[in-house]
Every structure is written in C-alpha cells, then in structure tokens.
Amino acid sequence: MKSQKSIYISINGKKLKTEEGKSILEVAQNAGIEIPSLCFHPDLEVKAVCRMCVVEIKGKRGLFTACSTKAEDGMEVMTDSLEIRRARKVNLELIFSQHREECPDCIWSFNCQLFKLAREYNVKITRFADRKTNYPLFQFGPAINFDSSKCIDCRNCVEACEKYAVGFLEIKEKGHMFQVVPAKSQKKDCIYCGQCIVHCPVGAFEAVGEFEEIEKPLKEKDKIVIFQFAPAIRSSIGEEFGLPYGKVVTGKLVAGLRALGAHKVFDVSVGADFTTTEETNEVIEKAKKQKGLSSVLCFSSCCPSWVKFVEFYYPEFIPNISTTRPPHIILGGLIKTYFAKKENIDPKKIIVVSIMPCTAKKYEIERQELKIDGLKPVDYVLTTRELAFLFIKHKIDLKKIKPEKPDSPLGVPSGAGVIYGASGGVMESALRTIYKKLTNKRLTKIDFKQVRGQEGIKKAEIEIGGKKIKVAIANGMQNAKKILEELKINPRAYNFVEVMACPGGCIGGGGQPVPANSKIRKERAAALYQIDSKKDQRVAHENPIVKKLYKDYLTDKKTIEAICHTKYSQKKKGKNKIIKN
Amino acid sequence: MNIIEKLKNSNLKGRSGSGFPTGLKWELVKNEKADKKYIICNASEGEPGNSKDGFILKKYPEILIEGIKIALATIDHSVAYIYLRKDYYQKFKKPLEKLIGKLPITLFKKQGGYLSGEETTILNVIEGKRAEPRIKPPFPTQSGLFGCPTLVNNVETFYQVAKILKGEYKNTKFYSISGDVKHPGVYELSESWDIGQILKETRNWPNFDFFVQAGGGASGEILLSSELNQPIKGIAAIIVYNLKETNPSHLMKTWAEFFLKENCDKCVPCREGVFRISEMLKAGKIDKALLDDLFFVLRETSLCPLGKSVVTPFESLLRKVYKI
C-alpha cells in the first residue's frame, strides 16, 4: 500500500493530524467530532445524497458535504453556523416528509438518528404532509419486510443488496419519482440475508414479525418453551444494552432467557459440533467413494441464504451442498427426539425457539423437508434484535443480570462450535475434525489462521496426512459467485467451500444489532476466537456430548438421516407479496 | 503557436452554458498522464427553447467534425464520442458517419432526459450505469469516462475551435430565439451584443409589454424589458413572453413539471424540494417563507448544477413579475 502523506486540518478550531485521502467526515468521526450524516455508511460508497453533513470551509464560498470532500492540508472546517443549521433543518424536514414514522415498532427505536437530529435542529417533523403514505409494504418470502413508506431514498439498501447479495432491490421511476422496489424479473429473487436491514438508516426494512410478533413464543400455553441461541449472539447482543462491542455475555444471555420464562436454554454451538461431525463423516464417505479427498467438492450448508442462492441461481451445484443440517436444526431435532424421550415429554408439546443473528433462518425453518415425524425441529426464530427488544419489554437488563449456565445434557460446546459465528469458523472446525479423523494425530497447531479474517474471499491449501486439500471461504454472494464461476471452469479448483451471505459471517448477520460496520464486526468475531482459545475442548467430534449421542442415540443410519441430513431442490421465485398499497 | 495557446488567446469559453475556459480545459486533459483519454462532444441539448446544437449539426457538421479532429490530434491516445439527443441521433447519424469515415469517433445515442446532458451524467450513461450525476471532484478532466481523463465539450465549442484554427473566429455565438416573436430561430451573432440588441437586430423586439427568459426555457433567469442591456449568461437561449397574456402561475407550473420529470431524485433538496414547489403551485397558494427555505437548500446543498439552477427562474419571476 502506498504510504499516505500526513496532513493537518482544523475542525472548529481544533487542529487534527490525518492522512491525505481521508474525507472531512472521517477525520471528524475519528476525532469524536459529530457531524450528522444519514446516507453515509462505512461499508458502502460515498453517495452524498442526504446533504446533512454540510460544513463550511474557510476561504471557500458555500457549503460542502463532509462525506465527499477530502481533507486538505491547512484546511479550516467549521461544522456549525447559522447557514449550516438552516440547511440541515430544512433538509431534515424534507427527509421527514418522505418518512412515515412508525417509531414504537422500528429497529432504530432506541437509537434513532433521525429523531435525535430532529430535536437538535428543532425540526418541525410535520411541516410537510407525508409524501409516501400510499407507498406499499413488501414482504419477501417469510423473512423480510420492506415498508417503502419509511424509505428516505438514500439507496443504501440497493447498494448493499448489490454488494453482498443479489441485486434484488432496484430503483424504478413511477410518476416522475424514483423509488426502491423489488425486482420483477423471474430470474431474481431475495435470499433473505437482511443486509438491507442493517444498512438502512431509518428502519424501512425489518425481519418479518419484528417486533410485533416477538411475544408469540411466550404465549404458547401448556407448552414447554425451549430457547437455543446461536454462536454469534453472545458477542453482539450486549451492544443493545450499552455494553462495548465484542463483549461476551453468554451467561447473562442464558439468565435473561430463563427470566423470560424459558423452560430450558441450550447453546446452538453444541449443534454446531454435531454439524461438523456429520459433515466431515459425509465428506470422508464421499472421499472413499470417489478418488480420495482431493476429488471431493463440498459446500457448507449452514447459511440458508447461501443454500437458497445455489438452489435458485446455480442449481447445477446442488449435489455439492453438504446434506448435513445447520446446527440449530440438528439441535432442535435432538431436543424433540432424544431429549424429549429422555425427559419423557411429548415432543408435540415442545416449542423450540432459535435466537439467530439471521433473518434467513425465518425462511429456513419453514422448509418442509426438515420435519421429523411431522414436527418442525424449530418453531420460531427470533433475531438478536428481537430478543433484545423482548428483554427490554420485560425489563430484563443484560448489563445487570447475573450470568447463569446453559442446560445440560446438551449444554457445553467445543471451541470449534463457537467460532461458527465468524466467517471461516465452519471451515476451521471441519479442518480440525477431519485432520484428526484422517491422521489420528494430535493437532500440533489447532489454529487454522489462514481461514480467519474479514476478507471477502480467503483461499488456502491445507496438508492433511500428506495430501493437499484446497479450501475457499467466501462471504457475500458476489464473492461466492466468483468461486462458483471458477468452479464451473475448473471443478477441481477447490475441495471445501464455506460460504456465508453476510459480511464477516454470522457476526455481521442481517438479524444483528445496528449499527454494524467492519470495525464492529471485527470486535464481535475476535470475541468468539477468544472464547475458543480459552476452551480445553476445541475439536467438535471430541465433545463428550457428541460422543455420547453417537454411542447412545445416533447409532443407525435412519436416525442419523432423519435428524442430521436434508435434501435440496431447484427453487423457483418465492412468494413476495405486497401487503398494503 | 500551438493549438492550446491559440485557444487560450481566443478567450473561447465553453458553450454548454457553464463558460469554462476552453483552452484551460484542453490543457488539463492534455497534461494528465494516462494510456487512454476520451473526448466527448455533447450534442444532447435538452432544455426547452434551446436548439443551437441541432442547428449546427444540420448546417455545419463538417466544421464540427473538424473541431473534434483537432481535439483528437491535440490530446494523445484519445478516442471520441458524439453524444446525441435521440432525435438528433436519428436525423444526423448518416451524414455524420459519412464525415467521420475512419476517424475514431463513435456516435452514442443519449439515454434518459435532460439531466443526461450533464457532463458527469453523460459519463455514467456511456458506461451503461444509471443516469445520475457523479460527485466532483474528481473532475472529468482527471478521471472521467471509464476512469480516464476526459474532455467534454459542447457541439458549439468544437465548432468554434475549428473556426479559431482556420483563423475565421469572429467572437460569435449561436442564439436560439423563441416565444412570442415574429422571427424565431437560431442566429449566429456577436457574443458581446446585449439581449436587447439581439432582439432588435433579428427583428424580434415586440411591440407589446413583455419579459424574457434568458439562458434556457427552464433554468433561465427572468429579465424585464428594461433589463435587456446586458449580454446573455449561460446558454444563449432567449424566450420572449407577452406580459399581459402570460399566466405566470402556469409558467411556473411548466418549469416545476419539467424539473420534477427531469431530475434524478438522488439528493434530498432537489428531489423533495422540487416536489414541494410543484405541490405548492398545484395548490395555488404561495408560501413565501417556505419557498425561501426550499430555494436556500436547493441553491446551497444540491448535489449537481441542475438542482442549484432550479431556483433562478422561480426566484426572478416572483421578484420581478409577482413583486414578492
């Protein structure tokens, strides 16, 4: 990288050192100087369309947007003046004229930028009648809602969908005004990743049921309600209670869920240990049938957006998706079979609620082929945000609550099960297990650092028992696409491919708290690797619970198939409806 | 004397309306270091009342091509586009192709409306992207089409360049005259003449009370007949309105409709501000304080020149004709 030249600028009289190429907004944010900005998101291109970050520059006439103006040596910036305040106030009033308020039921309820700015600039929110009252509310599959009457046309969602997902959101002109709409083309469909949600500054997107249906699982009368929480929740939900980024709150989460009235609380990371064990069994089987490990091509299957992506856009690769079920589905299945039997409970009476960093999991649990004896392994999915909201409603403060341990006998995960929440984690868990299974040797270096990190595509060659296997890890569908296109030309390019739809993996999921950006995602991921590094048990299939169940319960092929495996099929465009017009 | 010095000495200013010194623009592109550079001739005039590009394309296409040829020779590693309004593309494709022969000049049919004539929007359109303006800097001279240094000049600018090099430049300008006049049309006249003189010389000075819109039929400024002792700013379009017979409210509605239709809806002040102006006119009630606020954000915070230019016609009409 080119070394950047140091320069000095002043903001409101404060002298600041920075590098050439940085925008005024970046310099201000790094120095803790607040400049309002709505359309700016560090993950995305600078668009400079909300015109809220206007500042003055000494010696230059007019106002300049801080997000799109580069800092120059000696520049003197003022972030407040009568002119600036007037411009921000009027532009805010115009922004409010497009945004139908729905404050109590919004993912930004507790930290809404718009509302904060409205107060600061003494804005008359109702100066103009809402322009978009008749704009539709869309629903994409069973996962995502887009209320276009809240949209302020910053187009972050369109860019996020293009960058991380599939370009399902488009801009169309209707009666001289452009608006964001879902693609009509039969060749495009939403994969439910929810990146639109976490990149929208005003809550126009949310998960289906967020937040109006969050109480539903608690109202299941005469049922035994069991909660299970995903690996990536423990290092993110604290943010909703003012805890620092990357703070691990596993015990508090368990205590909170019990306080809500959960009969049992399980850790999905245990399910992840089963997923790894079964997935590696599957790979080893395949290798035996074919010409060894280096002839295998196997895709991870725990990201439902990725699975739908293959089923819809690249059906020719369906045979390569691992048939092993995702962790919460396996654990849910075990709860309704093994655990129910052991505790002598009628499985029909059990309600399993998964707390997920993900919106696509709401779609996944509706997949009919996952049913075991007619029962869905998981009955409800709540996102991290939804659970936090539920806690707040029930006056449960994660900051204050005393930590508790999750329930055994399905209680303690390996370290490998925890890192499932970060991009590369599924791969690393699989590599640890496969290495041990194939070489029977102690892992001298248990960390596979080459598969970690936030990059969009990671590639590595790993030697196992004298054989080299090629792995690729992608996050975001645009990156996954590159891998698939490469595989179309050279089917031997990789052996194992892990794909997660969201940036950085599940820690950057569409169900996670807002705001989210690469800095925050890094902290959330680092926390998971910290947990792993401190564990004694760091290999999935060596987890005593996994061993015990393979000895006592998962003993025949039929049971294993029913609980741990699934099938895939080519998908047509899903049901996307317009709820009101 | 080299070409750029000749252009500088001539004091030729870009004829798109912005008036940027042509010699300097050419020099900026020439001095950029790049393996590939682009030249774009903008023939996409889209503002009502302006038809000079079409006039030159019809009458002097060979002089236009000569101008582009000079640019190709002056700027290394360059190829050129002529970016034509849809109807111009249809009308002039054949004669232009004949003149172009084997020169590296491509004809490109404009996509979208008025805004697609803005220089950074043209870049997006040719690249196949959405017709929206880009954030400046970088300026097209630094990083334009496909990220390469790009010279964007208007049809008339290339025409005048050719004239300068032939030694035939007479400091003229093409004036489009329309509205309530007897002899509408395009006239090539001295650029230093004031508007009144132009109307008189073309036998278009009305014998009734009138006002004009100078600089374009949407974004041009309203001038009273007593204010015509000044040369025209911006695009040389003059539209004459009969004071008694023109309904100013109707006129404003047509402007609002034009901007509402033609803007890209990208930035808040232009998208929402124009919408609110249009709603106010529809309701028939002028709220001066609100208009002032909208004008302020349009002028001070719009992303591109279109948004900033919205204010001029409304503000000048209200002040001079409505007297508010």
8 Å CB contact of A87 and B296? yes
8 Å CB contact of B300 and A131? no
8 Å CB contact of A63 and B296? no
8 Å CB contact of A51 and B273? no
The answer to whether residue A39 is catalytic is: no
Q: Concatenated DSSP letters for A123-134? A: --TTSS--TTTT
User: Residue B315 burial by CB count (10 A; 0-12/13-18/19+): exposed, middle or buried?
Assistant: middle
CA distance B303 to A47: 10
CA distance A230 to A528: 12
Do residues B34 and B146 touch, judged by C-beta distance below 8 A? no
Q: What is the pLDDT of residue A3?
A: 61
* Residue B121 structure tokens: 């929007």
Do residues B132 and B124 touch, judged by C-beta distance below 8 A? yes
Which phi and psi angles does B211 have, rounded to 5°?
Answer: -135, 165
**What CATH number was assigned to the domain covering residues A216-564?**
3.40.50.1780
Cis bond leading into A406, ω under 30°?
A: no
What count of residues does chain A have?
Answer: 581
The SS3 assignment for B69 reads helix
Band (pLDDT 50/70/90 cuts) for residue A409 is low
β-strands A76-78, A54-57: how paired?
A: antiparallel
Q: Closest Cα to residue A437, out of A297, A554, A293? A: A293
* Residue B61 structure tokens: 């296409």
Summarize pLDDT for B2-45 with one digit per residue, the tens.
999 999 999 999 998 888 999 999 999 999 999 999 999 999 99
* Residue B132 structure tokens: 């929206």
Do residues A212 and A102 touch, judged by C-beta distance below 8 A? no
**Strand partners of residue A457:** A474
Summarize pLDDT for A184-240 with one digit per residue, the tens.
999 999 999 999 999 999 999 999 999 989 999 999 889 999 999 999 999 999 999
Angle between helices B248-262 and B311-320 (to 10 degrees): 170
The SS3 assignment for B167 reads coil
The answer to whether residue A239 is catalytic is: no
Do residues A146 and A135 touch, judged by C-beta distance below 8 A? no
The SS3 assignment for B230 reads coil
Side-chain-side CA neighbours of A260 within 13 Å: the count stands at 30
Phi-psi region of B185 (alpha: psi -120 to 50; beta: other; left: phi over 0): left
Do residues B49 and B217 touch, judged by C-beta distance below 8 A? yes
Q: Which residues in A have their CB inside 8 Å of a CB on B?
A: 46-51, 54, 62-63, 65, 68, 70, 83, 86-87, 90-91, 94-95, 97-98, 127-128, 131, 152-153, 155, 171, 176-178
**pTM confidence score:** 0.93
Query: Taking CA atoms, what residue in A is nearest to B261?
Result: A176
Catalytic residue among A369, A461, A463, A485: A369
Say which DSSP state A70 is in: B
Which of B139, B259, B278, B297 is best to mutate for the A interface (most A CBs within 10 A)? B297
* CATH topology assigned to domain B172-242: Ubiquitin-like (UB roll) (3.10.20)
In chain B, domain spans: 3-166, 172-242, 248-320
Neighbours of A339 (CB within 10 A): 21
* Residue A18 structure tokens: 């920075």
Of A50, A68, A86, the CB nearest to B296: A86
The answer to whether residue A282 is catalytic is: yes
Using an 8 Å CB-CB cutoff, list chain B residues near A51.
Answer: 267-269, 297, 301-303
Of A54, A70, A177, the CB nearest to B301: A54
Which whole-number Å values give the CA distances from B177 to A462, A531, B25, B87, B222, in the listed order?
A: 76, 77, 29, 20, 15
8 Å CB contact of A91 and B296? no
Q: What is the pLDDT of residue A240?
A: 96
pLDDT at A1 over 50: no
What does the mean pLDDT of chain A come to?
Answer: 95
8 Å CB contact of A98 and B301? no
Q: Closest Cα to residue B220, out of B206, B235, B204, B199? A: B235
Tokens 């856009």 map to which residue?
A313
B227 touches chain A (CB under 8 A): no
Catalytic residue among A53, A106, A302, A358: A302
In chain A, domain spans: 6-80, 104-111+124-208, 216-564
CA distance A39 to A559: 51
Phi-psi region of B203 (alpha: psi -120 to 50; beta: other; left: phi over 0): left
Compute the nearest-CA separation of B87 from chain A (Å). Answer: 22
Of B137, B267, B272, the CB nearest to A97: B272
The answer to whether residue A279 is catalytic is: yes
Q: What is the pLDDT of residue A445?
A: 82
Is the CATH number 3.10.20.740 carried by domain A6-80? yes
The answer to whether residue A20 is catalytic is: no
Using an 8 Å CB-CB cutoff, list chain A residues near B301.
Answer: 51, 54, 63, 65, 87, 91
The CATH architecture to which B3-166 belongs is 3-Layer(aba) Sandwich (3.40)
8 Å CB contact of B268 and A176? no
The amino acid present at A311, given as its one-letter code, is E
The amino acid present at B39, given as its one-letter code, is I
* CATH topology assigned to domain B248-320: de novo design (two linked rop proteins) (1.20.1440)
CA distance A261 to A226: 9
pLDDT at A581 over 60: no
Q: What is the pLDDT of residue B114?
A: 85
Q: What is the pLDDT of residue A5?
A: 85
Sites in chain B below the pLDDT cut of 50: none
The answer to whether residue A461 is catalytic is: no
Q: Concatenated DSSP letters for A245-298? A: TT---HHHHHHHHHHHT-SEEEEHHHHHHHHHHHHHHHHHHHHHHTTSGGG--E
What ipTM score was computed for the predicted complex, to two decimals? 0.92
Phi-psi region of B21 (alpha: psi -120 to 50; beta: other; left: phi over 0): beta
Summarize pLDDT for A447-480 with one digit per residue, the tens.
899 999 999 999 999 998 888 999 999 999 999 9
The angle at the Cα of A346, spanning A341 to A352, to the nearest 5 degrees, equals 90
The amino acid present at A198, given as its one-letter code, is V
Q: What is the pLDDT of residue A440?
A: 86
Q: Closest Cα to residue A377, out of A386, A364, A360, A387? A: A364
For chain A, the C-alpha Rg in angstroms (whole number) is: 25
B142 touches chain A (CB under 8 A): no
Summarize pLDDT for A302-328 with one digit per residue, the tens.
999 999 999 999 999 999 999 999 999
Q: What is the pLDDT of residue A2?
A: 54
Residues 6+ apart with CB under 8 A from A470: A294, A459, A460, A461, A493, A494, A495, A496
User: Residue B108 burial by CB count (10 A; 0-12/13-18/19+): exposed, middle or buried?
Assistant: middle
β-strands A457-464, A467-475: how paired?
A: antiparallel
The answer to whether residue A364 is catalytic is: yes
Summarize pLDDT for A535-556 with one digit per residue, the tens.
999 999 999 999 999 999 999 9
8 Å CB contact of B269 and A63? no
The answer to whether residue A302 is catalytic is: yes
* CATH topology assigned to domain A104-111+124-208: Alpha-Beta Plaits (3.30.70)
Q: Concatenated DSSP letters for B180-206? A: S-SS-EEEEEETTS-HHHHHHHTT---
pLDDT at A113 over 80: yes
